[in-house]
C-alpha cells in the first residue's frame, strides 16, 4: 500500500506527469549541417502512384537543396519494372499531374529520367510510346552499375 501511495504521489507531480505525456527524452535538436552537391541515382520500380509522387518530391527537394548546380550535381532517375506505365504516352490522361510534375523536374535542371528499354519492351512499350523527356537505356541494371562506377550514390 505504501508503494502504491508513493507511486501515486510521484506520478501526480506536474513535472513527472508532463514527462510521461510527452516522453522522457526531451526534444530533438536541429542540425545545421551542410552538404555539398553530389551525383545521385534513384532506382525506381514502383507501380504505386503515391510512392512515385513521393519519389518525385524527394528528387525535387534534393535538387533544390543542392542548388541545381550543373557543375557539381546530377540526379538520374532510372525507371524500370512497374514504374514504366506511368511514363507511357497513352496513359497521359490518367497520370497527367504526375507526369507534368516529372517533366517539370527536367526543365533547366540537372535531373534526368532514364528508362530500361528491355523492361519497357517486355511490357509492350517501344521508345515512341514513352514521353519525350525520358531517355532510353538498354538495361536498367547495367545503367545503375555504370552510374555507380561513375560515382553516383545509389538511392531507392
* CATH number of the domain within which 67 lies: 3.40.1260.10
Question: Is the pLDDT higher at 66 or at 93?
Answer: 93
Mean pLDDT of the 112-116 span: 98
Domain that holds residue 118: 39-155
3-class DSSP state of 75: strand
pLDDT of residue 138: 98
Assign 35 a pLDDT band (cuts: 50, 70, 90).
confident
pLDDT of residue 60: 95
| Beta-carbon contacts of residue 153 (< 8 Å; ≥ 6 apart) | 38, 39, 40, 41
Report whether pLDDT(100) > 70: yes
33 lies in a domain?
A: no
Buried b / exposed e over 95-131, threshold 16 CB at 10 Å, is: beebbebbeebbeebbbebbbbbbbbeeeebeeeebb
How many CB atoms sit inside 10 A of residue 75's CB?
27
CA atoms within 13 A on the CB side of 59: 30
pLDDT of residue 69: 76
Least confident segment among 60-64, 79-83, 119-123: 60-64
DSSP state of 152: P
Report whether pLDDT(7) > 90: no
53-56, Cβ contacts within 8 angstroms, sequence gap of 24 or more: 53/98, 53/101, 56/98, 56/101, 56/102, 56/105
106 lies in a domain?
A: yes
Assign 16 a pLDDT band (cuts: 50, 70, 90).
low
Report whether pLDDT(2) > 80: no
The verdict on pTM exceeding 0.85 is no
How many domains are contained in the chain? Answer: 1
Percent of the chain with pLDDT over 70: 87
- Rounded Cα distance between 156 and 152, Å, is 13
20 lies in a domain?
A: no
10 lies in a domain?
A: no
At residue 155, φ and ψ (nearest 5 deg) are: -130, 150
49 lies in a domain?
A: yes
79 lies in a domain?
A: yes
pLDDT of residue 48: 98
Copy the grid coordinates of residue 129: 510510346
103 lies in a domain?
A: yes
25 lies in a domain?
A: no
Question: Is the pLDDT higher at 148 or at 35?
Answer: 148
Copy the grid coordinates of residue 71: 557543375
From the list 139, 145, 148, 89, the residue with the least C-alpha distance to 115 is: 139
Amino acid at each position: 500500500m505504501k508503494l502504491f501511495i508513493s507511486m501515486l504521489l510521484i506520478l501526480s507531480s506536474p513535472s513527472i506527469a508532463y514527462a510521461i505525456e510527452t516522453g522522457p527524452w526531451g526534444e530533438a535538436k536541429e542540425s545545421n549541417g551542410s552538404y555539398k552537391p553530389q551525383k545521385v541515382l534513384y532506382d525506381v520500380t514502383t507501380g504505386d502512384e503515391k510512392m512515385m509522387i513521393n519519389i518525385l518530391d524527394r528528387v525535387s527537394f534534393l535538387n533544390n537543396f543542392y542548388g541545381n548546380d550543373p557543375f557539381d550535381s546530377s540526379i538520374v532517375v532510372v525507371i524500370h519494372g512497374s514504374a514504366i506505365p506511368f511514363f507511357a504516352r497513352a496513359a497521359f490522361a490518367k497520370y497527367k499531374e504526375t507526369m507534368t510534375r516529372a517533366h517539370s523536374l527536367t526543365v533547366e535542371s540537372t535531373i534526368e529520367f532514364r528508362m530500361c528499354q528491355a523492361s519497357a519492351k517486355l511490357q509492350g512499350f517501344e521508345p515512341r510510346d514513352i514521353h519525350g523527356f525520358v531517355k532510353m537505356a538498354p538495361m536498367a541494371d547495367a545503367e545503375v552499375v555504370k552510374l555507380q562506377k561513375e560515382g553516383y550514390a545509389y538511392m531507392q
